Structure formats: C-alpha cells, structure tokens
Structure 1
Amino acid sequence: METLEEVELCFPQLLNMSCKRPKRSHFEIIMSYIILSSIIVLSTTLNLLVIITISHFKQLHTPTNLLLLSLAVSDFFVGLLMFFQIMLIDGCWYLGTFICMLYTCLGYIITSTSVGNMVLICADRYVAICHPLHYSTKVTQKRVQVCVSLCWICSIIFQILVLKDNFEQPGSAISCIGECVAVSNYIAELADLILSFIGPVIVIIVLYMRVFVVAVSQARAMRSHIVAVTLQGSVKVNVKKSEIKAARTLGVVVVVFLICLCPYYIVFLSAQDAIINASSSFVICMLYFNSCLNPIIYAFFYPWFRKCIKLIVTLEILRPDSCEANIL
C-alpha cells in the first residue's frame, strides 16, 4: 500500500483532502508543453491575422467573409483557453472552483459557437453554388450579421443551461482539491450531443455533398458545352483538375471536422461525468487543434489572404488609406 510519502499530492499540506498527482515521465511532460504551446501560438496567430485582415480591408466586408470573421474570433478564443489546459499537464488544478467553472463554461460556449459558424459557412456556400441567382437577395450583410449574433447568443444560453448544475452547486462533484470537474445530467448531455455534434455533422455533410454534386454537374455541363465549341484537350484537363480540387477541398473540410470532434464527444459523452483533467488532454487537444486548421482551410486558400499578410507584415496596413487598398 502506498504511503503519503510515496504519493505525490497536488496540495501536500492538505493530506487526504488533496488529489494525487498522476505519475508522468519527464519526456511526456515536455512533449505536452511543446504540443500545447504550439497549438496556442498557431491558433491565436493565424486567427488573429484573419481577424485583422477581414476587419481592416473594406473590400473584404462581404457576407461570406463576415462568417469567416466570426469563425476566426471563436477559434482565437479557443487558442487562448489552451493556456488553462497547459496548467493541467501535471494533473492538478490550482486556480480554484470558480475559475474551473468559468474555464469549462467558456470552453463549451466557444467550441459550440465555432461549430455553429462552420454550419453557417456551409449554408452560405450551399446557397452560393446551388442557388447563385438568388444569392445576392437571400444572403445579405444584415441577415448574416443577425445569424452570427444568434449563433453566439444561442450558444451562450444553451451551454449555460447544460452546465447549470455546476453554477447552482459549484464544486459539488469535486472529489478532492486539485480537480476540475464539469458534470451534467443525462438529458443535458443528450441535448448537447444532438445540437452540438450530431446535428451539425449531418447538416455539414448533407450541404457539402449537395454542393459537391452541383459543382461537378455544372463542371461537366460546362465541359460539354465548351468542348463542342472550342479546343477539346485543354478544356478537358482544366475541368478535370477543377473537379479534383473541389472534391479534395470539400473532403478535407468534412474529414478534419469529424476527426477533431469525434474523439471529444466519444470520450466525454460515454462517461457518466465529463471530467476535464489530464487524462482527457488528448481529446481536448484534438478538439482545439481544429481551431488551428480552420484559418488554413478557410482563409489560406484565398489569394487575397496571402496578399493581406504581406501588407500586415510590411506594416503597410498602418497607412491611413490602407483600408481602401485593392486586394482582390
């Protein structure tokens, strides 16, 4: 049997009231710090670049880019929340019950908002490709602003309801000092599973599949029309390349989204309680890592973004008339 001297406690002075610090190798701890720090730097830096770019340049103030801006804001805050995750590398929570509940609630809210933003982006692209003639009337700047605001408000209200037991009795589920625990009842977990995971995944897959089918059919129709009129060889190659590029982009978006979210919900919703501690750091890192990939997937593929980065790095963005620059 282990004695108190053989067990490393989070708070040695509290003896039996303190949580036990999990045993980890020095290599594992160092690697965890490196990985989490890298995610923080990438997520905050890349998303901050997107935020500055879309907010500053007036030519980018479009409904679609407003959705990208909202996504970048939520992903930026996800990166900031990773600072708290670094504190859990050694398996102990030192910031008290209130900060634990605040961190947990913000994590749920921001992640839910990020998922909602992705759904809105899918809907925007669906209308743009499947109903291009009605896009300018259906998707307006004001409507997008309303949708983005509702996305944030609904995420805040919903996640507060899911975690309301933690606010009514903060720390009631904590078995020892040095633990950060978030609990919710079965109904709340089921609602969160459906509204924050299953529902968005179904919507994204259905919309993207529809977009892909329409894009391929339009490309084939265009190929048939152009081939009948002009050079067959070169047009065929170009169209095939566009079809492959569309398939690859849509596939990456859906697969990356599922890969990052599935482990989180499988681990957390299969347990009786959703315990946020060092043992769950891997699935949380997977979830947060998606915030690093979003600006790459949704922004780095745009030529105007690379041009804006150059303007930011060279400090030309500080010029009084830089917001009027032609970057498209």
Structure 2
Amino acid sequence: MNTLEETELCFPQLLNSSCRKTMRPHSVSLIIYVILSAISLITMILNLLVIISISHYKQLHTPTNLLLLSLAVSDFFVGLLMFFQIMLIDGCWFLSDLMCVLYFLLDYVITSASIGTMVLISVDRYVAICDPLHYPSKVTPKTANICISMCWIGSILFQCLLLKDNLQQPGSFNTCFGECVVVVSYVGGIADVLLSFIGPVTVIVVLYLRVFVVAVSQARAMRSHVATVTIQGSVSVSAKKSELKAFKSVSVVIVVFLICLCPYFCVTVTGQDALLNSSSLVSVVCLFYFNSCLNPLIYALFYPWFRKSMKLIITLQILKPGSCEASIL
C-alpha cells in the first residue's frame, strides 16, 4: 500500500510535503505525450520556415508579411513552451520555482504579443481595404517594425508588472513541492482581461465587420464593371483583387485564432479551470497551442510564396549567393 502511495507523489522522498501526480493509464499518458510532442515539433519547424522565408527574401519585406513574421515568432515559442506543458500534464513541476515563474511569464508575454499582433494585422487590412490610396504612405515596413516592437515591449513590461510579486518571491504561492503556480492580484487580473482579451477582440471584430462590408461592396463593384474597364482600370481592378485575396487569407488566420483563443480565455478568466477535470483543461490549453501549428498550414494553403520559399529552403538553394534577391512572388 505504501508503494502505491509513493508512486502517486511527485517527490516520493518528501512524503507529505510532495504534490500528488494526476494518475492516468500508462497508454493514455503515452498517447498524450506522443501527440503533444509531435505537435510541438511540427509547430516549431513550420514557424521556423516562415521566419526564415520572410527574414531572408527581400521581396517578402512588406508590412503585412512583417506582421506575419511577428506572429510566427510568437508561434515558434508556443511550440517550445508545449514541452513544458507536457511536463505539467501529470501535475508535477520538476524544475526550479524561478523557472516556473519564467515559464508563465514567457507564456503570458507570447499570448499578449500574439493578440497584439492580430490587432495590428486587423488594422493593416482595414487601411488596405478601406483606404487603399493612402495605404502605401500610411503603412510602410518602417511603421510596421515600430508597431511590432512597441507591441512586444509593451507585452513584456505589462506582464512583468503583472507577475512582479511572483518574480520577487518565486514559489511563494506553492502549497506543496512539485507545484507550479503563479498568483495575480484582483486588479491585475481585471487589467489583463481588458487589455489582453476583451479590448483586442472587440477591436478585431469591429474592424473586420467594417472591412467585410467594404470588401463585399468592392467585390460587387468589380463584378459589375469588369466588362467595361479600360487598361488603366484593369490595373486598378487587379490591385483590388490582390488586396481582397490578402484580406481573405488573413481573415482565415484571425478567425481560426479567435476560435482557438476564446475557449482558453473563457475558462481562465471565469475561474472555470478549477471546476474542470484535468483532461478538459488540457484540451482547452492544447486547442490554444494548436493554433500556432495551424497558422503556417494556412499560409501554405493560401500563400504561393510560402510554398515556393519552403521548397527553396528545404533544397538548400537558400544558401546560394544572392538568394535573398530571388523572385518569390
């Protein structure tokens, strides 16, 4: 009986001071580990391909692609963090208390930076569709880089402030050895919900509703005038078609993001995570993480440049001199 009891502890040598493991059949645990490890590895590889593609090829240095680059960076780190999530599945944390706080800090920073990047992508598409004549002057690569930098710096500063007490005294909120817990103040929790979820999602939805109305009207206008356009007009129509196609592609990314994000935030901000069993909670968290694996697949489906750049990277043609000047579009 004592042996059975010891096997349920994270640190059997500590007896009553140790946290208890979440017991599952060995086959179930093995399946979970294999699936999450595969998703984590695929997520990192695919997003690394996106990062290399946009960073290396100068032709891809457009404002929209730079925003996708920022999203790919956050998605890459999500894949990396999934290895730590795998460690927590059994309810045991075997690293130091400081590493636990840093894990949550990185997790929160990546989440808020991803959401901030989605807001920037929504603004980018809003200006491109609703004010196309001024888009090249208003939205430049320099402007995009500044906004991305501010988004990441703001996320880091805000989350460090939110977890200040945990960073000063790592592990002070743990109730047993092997636990990984961080506590956020009531005011900080409300601020986090408003700034990291409700506010950004509201902005994204409002902008996309507006853009959707304009995009539909533009599509109808193009269909009604397609037979009578002049050569100059056809260039304009072609440009509009290109913007609408980009809008559709990015829309899929944002819709999938919201579908994966909302269950995660609804569970965590309402405190329902304490009421759910571990399997349900893991499912919600994994759905949120799985979004980072889906984004590159969406790029591969909608963006020919990503498929072409992947081929060049895999075949090592990217190592040739002057490859950064290659025509990708």
**Aligned residue in 2 for 1:14:** 14
Superposed, 1:1-328 pairs within 5 Å as: 5-6=4-5, 8-227=8-227, 249=249, 252-271=252-271, 280-298=281-299, 300-328=301-329
Given that residues 205 and 254 in structure 1 are in contact (C-alpha distance below 8 angstroms), is that contact kept between their aligned partners in structure 2? no
Q: TM-score w.r.t. structure 2 length?
A: 0.88
- List 4+ stretches of structure 1 deviating above 6 A: 244-248, 272-275
Question: CA offset at residue 61 of structure 1?
Answer: 1.4
- Give the C-alpha shift of residue 5 in structure 1: 4.7
Q: Is the 8 A contact 2:40 2:80 kept in 1?
A: yes
2: CA distance, partners of 1:4 / 1:172: 30
Distance between the aligned counterparts of 1:299 and 1:208, measured in 2?
23
The C-alpha deviation readout for 1:242-261, integer Å capped at 9, x for no partner, is 9x988975664343222211
In the superposition, relative to structure 1, how do residues 229 and 14 fare at CA in structure 2: closer, same or farther (>3 Å)?
A: closer
Q: Contact between 2:118 and 2:254, CA under 8 Å: does it hold in 1?
A: no
State the Cα deviation string for residues 135-193 of structure 1 (Å, max 9, x = none).
01100121111101000000001111111121233212101001100111111111111
Distance in 2, matches of 1:33 and 1:126, equals 41
Distance in 1 (CA, whole Å) between partners of 2:292 and 2:113 is: 12
Partner secondary structure for residue 179 of structure 2: coil
Q: In the TM superposition, what is the alpha-carbon distance from 1:90 to its structure 2 partner?
A: 2.2
Q: 1:35 to 1:310 in 2, by over 3 A?
A: same
The number of residues matched between the two structures is 315
Q: Tell me by how many angstroms 1:321 deviates.
A: 1.5
Deviations 1:90-132 (A, max 9, x none): 2211002111011010110011111111111111111111111
How many Å separate the matches in 2 of 1:184 and 1:70? 27
CA–CA separation in structure 1 for the residues paired with 2:139 and 2:246: 22
Q: Distance in 1 between matches of 2:247 and 2:325?
A: 35
Separation of aligned partners in 2, 1:270 and 1:246: 35
Q: CA deviation at 1:52?
A: 0.5
Report if the CA contact (8 A) 2:70-2:148 is conserved. Answer: yes
Worse-matched range after superposition: 294-303 or 169-178: 294-303
Quote the Cα distance in structure 1 between the aligned partners of 2:182 and 2:169. 11
Between 150-159 and 23-32, the greater mean CA deviation after superposition: 23-32
Q: Work out the CA distance in 1 between the residues paired with 2:248 and 2:63.
A: 24
Q: CA deviation at 1:38?
A: 2.0
SS at match of 2:195: helix
Q: Which amino acid aligns with 2:111?
A: T
- Whether the 8 Å contact between 1:182 and 1:274 is mirrored in structure 2 is no
